């Protein structure tokens, strides 16, 4: 297990450098000049332009800029935003809890509903439940996210008035956010109604963000279960006289979990990378929205630093998934 | 009263191309402590009839029988829950592929103790002791250590021993062994068979051995039922069957045994078991039978009496010579 972890960690090194190069090059290849964008409508004089370029270091050769960037990374410095003048890392950690909170809620909802739905569909293969669940999943999977979000807002927020339209909490409440997780902070604040407000703000974004992973997990669980249900060891379990619930839920599901864990891992990766559309529609102050805003401003340092952080998180999630495989299937544990 | 009594069991599978009858009017009677074999080629319905008894067939199967009782209980009438209390406790089954029959995600110990937890009132400690006892009984060395092993860490022979330990956990009255040695090495085959026979003798349980190996049958069992294309074509005590087979199929199977061959070339049975679309009109064995005539191909045969081994044949053999049927003609 230890050597397995070590080998996986070593593969991080080339991936990490690859990401730095891509992130560095990607934002610079985009047309648009950050200084001009910063200057706005009024424009900027050539002298002032050169002065700013020198200040941001744009006057030096590309490779020098790249190595300065890499050098900074190893000192834990991802640069400073041109716009807000704050360190990129500080901004990231200020916004990441919002994304994480939403992602955790969404993936929990997707797993809690998706796996049982897949199991029920597989066990009732070809019957009404199977058809109903799988057609619903297909609809969920194919639906454009922004349209679905707007539809929910129209029905539940403006129509029925059950949920708020956007943000993380009602403006009536104001308190410190030591953890950055609104659910925890609102509870700790002790203010009446704050927690309920935080939850009500979470409901719609969670549903929207969970829809596609939910559909994928349900479909993957179903197909993995169908495969496993035909295995000899499931017959053995039935020959013991075990109840169907134990056979499906313990003997079959545990074996079926391996492909399901893969898609859950991939979904978590995408969700953490910032649910760009969802965060934008619900004005959710997470890293997805932050990255989009920074790309529009050509805020080089923020984009390359943010991409690097996101890529690192996705790599860590993938590693966790690989470790989970071993825990679920002892055969893989040996390596 | 017999331990197991099955009369006129039929199993039909709904397939995309219509119904397929895998088992056709099979009778099985097993007394306490009986040791019998069901013999037949692949596709003769021997496994399916036993899976039907266990209730392990998929939902595409339709099972009909005049009688299906075990230990005085009508298996056709009881609820699925009541049936699950019998299956795994009083009737156990082991399968052809020991390696894939154990769940790769759970330890051998967990899988053995699971039956005990389900069917007995033993405490955790007692279940552990019983599991160790079972592992010792089936000849697994270092039983304590092997209980925490995962199936992929065991060899094929060890896996089958573990399967047997699982099957014996609740002291069943009947053990069904479905080709338990087919997937194993020849040297291991003999060991597993010996183990099964020894366990049958010491525990007094009944044992049904499903096999296609006449050699295995000769050495081990008391009574043999021969199945062909879903039908029971003959049933006799083993010595009588080997001395004087009454059905031409049995005779042909015996003639194909290497140790009985008298010529340079081993005799074979030409053709294959009829499938869904090529079922003959009369006797199902008629296309491959060397004694068959026009009557065999046109008329469905009637079962002969016990003296003629219940042979399902128009001209059952006696000392290798076809005899006209006295009881029907």
Domain assignment present for residue B308? The answer is yes
Q: Does B260 touch chain A (CB under 8 A)?
A: no
Q: What is the pLDDT of residues B187-204, one digit of tens each?
A: 888 888 888 898 999 999
Comparing alpha-carbon positions, the chain A residue that sits nearest to B50 is A239
Residue B100 lies in a domain: no
| Count of domains forming chain B | 1
Tell me the C-alpha to C-alpha distance, in Å, between residue B162 and each of A299, B17, B95, B197, B207: 65, 39, 12, 16, 17
Domain span at residue B257? 250-322
Q: The pTM is what?
A: 0.80
- Residues in chain A closer than 8 A to B101 (CB atoms): 232-233, 235-236
Question: Is residue B295 domain-resident?
Answer: yes
Interface of B with A in 157-186 (CB under 8 A): 163, 166
Percentage of chain B with pLDDT > 90? 35
Evaluate whether residue B209 is within a structural domain: no
Q: Which two tokens stand for residue A242?
A: 């075990």
Q: Which two tokens stand for residue A184?
A: 């925890």
- CA angle B218/B222/B227 to nearest 5° reads 75
Whether B148 is in a domain gets the answer no
Taking the C-alpha atoms of residue A243 and residue A282, their distance in angstroms, rounded to an integer, is 45
Q: Are B45 and B227 in contact (CB under 8 A)?
A: yes
The Cα A285–Cα B130 span in angstroms is 60
The ipTM of this complex is 0.87
Nearest to A233 among B93, B101, B115 (CB): B101
**B269 has a chain A CB within 8 A of its CB:** no
Q: Do the Cβ atoms of A233 and B54 come within 8 Å?
A: no
Rg (CA), chain B: 21
* Alpha carbon of B116: minimum distance to chain A alpha carbons (Å): 10
Structural domains of chain A in order of their starting residue, each with its CATH number: 34-77 (no CATH), 88-334 (1.10.3720.10)
3-state secondary structure of B64: strand
| Domain assignment present for B48 | no
Mean pLDDT per 10-residue run, chain B (329 residues)? Answer: 89 87 89 90 86 88 90 88 90 91 92 92 92 90 91 90 91 91 84 89 92 82 90 91 90 84 79 82 88 88 86 87 69
Contact A283, A166 (CB under 8 A): yes
Q: Is residue B329 part of a domain?
A: no
Q: Per residue of chain A (335 residues), give pLDDT as tens.
A: 677 778 878 888 888 888 888 888 888 887 777 777 777 777 778 888 888 888 777 778 888 888 888 888 888 888 888 778 888 888 888 888 888 888 999 999 999 999 999 999 999 888 888 999 999 999 988 888 888 888 988 898 888 878 787 777 777 777 777 777 777 777 777 777 778 888 888 888 899 999 999 999 999 999 999 999 989 999 999 999 899 899 998 899 998 988 898 889 888 887 876 578 888 888 888 888 888 888 888 888 888 888 888 888 888 888 888 888 877 777 766 54
Put residue A57 in one of left, alpha, beta given phi > 0 → left and psi -120 to 50 → alpha.
left
Is residue B291 situated within a structural domain?
Answer: yes
């Amino acid at each position: 297990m230890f050597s397995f972890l070590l080998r996986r960690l070593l593969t991080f090194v080339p991936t990490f450098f690859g990401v730095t190069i891509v992130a560095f090059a990607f934002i610079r290849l985009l047309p648009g000049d950050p200084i001009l964008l910063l200057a706005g409508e009024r424009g900027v004089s050539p002298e002032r332009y050169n002065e700013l370029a020198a200040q941001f270091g744009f006057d030096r050769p590309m490779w020098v800029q790249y190595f300065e960037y890499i050098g900074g990374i190893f000192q834990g410095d991802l640069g400073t935003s041109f716009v807000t003048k704050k360190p990129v890392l500080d901004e990231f950690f200020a916004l990441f809890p919002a994304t994480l909170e939403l992602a955790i809620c969404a993936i929990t909802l997707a797993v809690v509903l998706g796996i049982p739905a897949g199991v029920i569909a597989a066990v009732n293969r070809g019957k009404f439940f199977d058809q109903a669940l799988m057609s619903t999943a297909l609809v969920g999977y194919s639906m454009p996210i922004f349209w679905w979000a707007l539809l929910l807002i129209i029905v539940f927020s403006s129509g029925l008035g059950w949920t708020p339209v956007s943000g993380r909490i009602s403006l009536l409440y104001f308190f410190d956010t030591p953890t950055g997780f609104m659910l925890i902070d609102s509870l700790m604040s002790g203010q009446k109604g704050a927690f309920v407000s935080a939850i009500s703000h979470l409901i719609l974004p969670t549903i929207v963000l969970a829809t596609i992973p939910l559909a994928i997990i349900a479909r993957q669980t179903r197909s993995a279960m169908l495969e496993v249900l035909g295995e000899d060891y499931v017959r053995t379990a039935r020959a013991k006289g075990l109840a169907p619930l134990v056979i499906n839920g313990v003997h079959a599901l545990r074996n079926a979990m391996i492909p399901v864990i893969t898609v859950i891992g991939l979904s978590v990766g995408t969700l953490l990378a910032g649910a760009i559309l969802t965060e934008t529609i619900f004005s959710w102050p997470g890293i997805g929205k932050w990255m989009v805003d920074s790309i529009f401003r050509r805020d080089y340092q923020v984009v390359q630093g943010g991409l690097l952080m996101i890529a690192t998180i996705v790599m860590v999630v993938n590693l966790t998934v690989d470790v989970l495989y071993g825990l679920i299937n002892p055969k893989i544990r040996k390596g | 009263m017999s331990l197991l009594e099955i009369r006129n069991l039929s199993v039909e599978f709904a397939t995309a191309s219509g119904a397929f009858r895998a088992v056709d009017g099979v009778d099985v009677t097993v007394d306490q402590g009986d040791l019998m074999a069901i013999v037949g080629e692949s596709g003769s319905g021997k496994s399916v009839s036993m899976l039907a008894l266990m209730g392990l067939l998929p939902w595409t199967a339709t099972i009909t029988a005049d009688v299906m009782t075990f230990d005085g209980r009508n298996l056709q009438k009881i609820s699925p829950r009541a049936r699950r209390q019998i299956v795994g406790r009083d009737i156990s089954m082991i399968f052809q592929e020991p390696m894939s029959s154990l769940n790769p995600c759970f330890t051998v110990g967990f899988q053995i103790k699971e039956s005990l937890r389900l069917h007995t009132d033993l405490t955790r400690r007692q279940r552990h002791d019983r599991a160790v006892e079972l592992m010792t009984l089936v000849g697994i060395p270092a039983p304590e250590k092997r209980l925490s092993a995962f199936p992929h860490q065991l060899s094929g022979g060890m896996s089958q021993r573990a399967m047997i330990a699982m099957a014996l956990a609740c002291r069943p009255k009947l053990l069904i062994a479905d080709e338990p040695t087919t997937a194993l090495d020849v040297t291991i085959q003999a060991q597993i068979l010996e183990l099964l026979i020894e366990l049958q003798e010491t525990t007094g349980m009944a044992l049904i051995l499903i096999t296609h190996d006449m050699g295995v049958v000769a050495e081990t069992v008391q009574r043999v039922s021969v199945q062909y294309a879903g039908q029971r074509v003959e049933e006799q005590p083993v010595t009588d069957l080997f001395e004087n087979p009454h059905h031409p199929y049995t005779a042909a199977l015996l003639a194909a045994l290497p140790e009985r061959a008298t010529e340079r070339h081993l005799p074979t049975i030409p053709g294959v078991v009829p499938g869904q679309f090529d079922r003959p009109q009369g006797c199902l064995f008629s296309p491959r039978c060397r004694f068959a005539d026009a009557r065999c191909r046109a008329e469905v045969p009637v079962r002969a009496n016990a003296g003629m081994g219940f042979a399902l044949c128009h001209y059952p053999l006696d000392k290798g010579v076809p005899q006209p049927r006295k009881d029907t003609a």
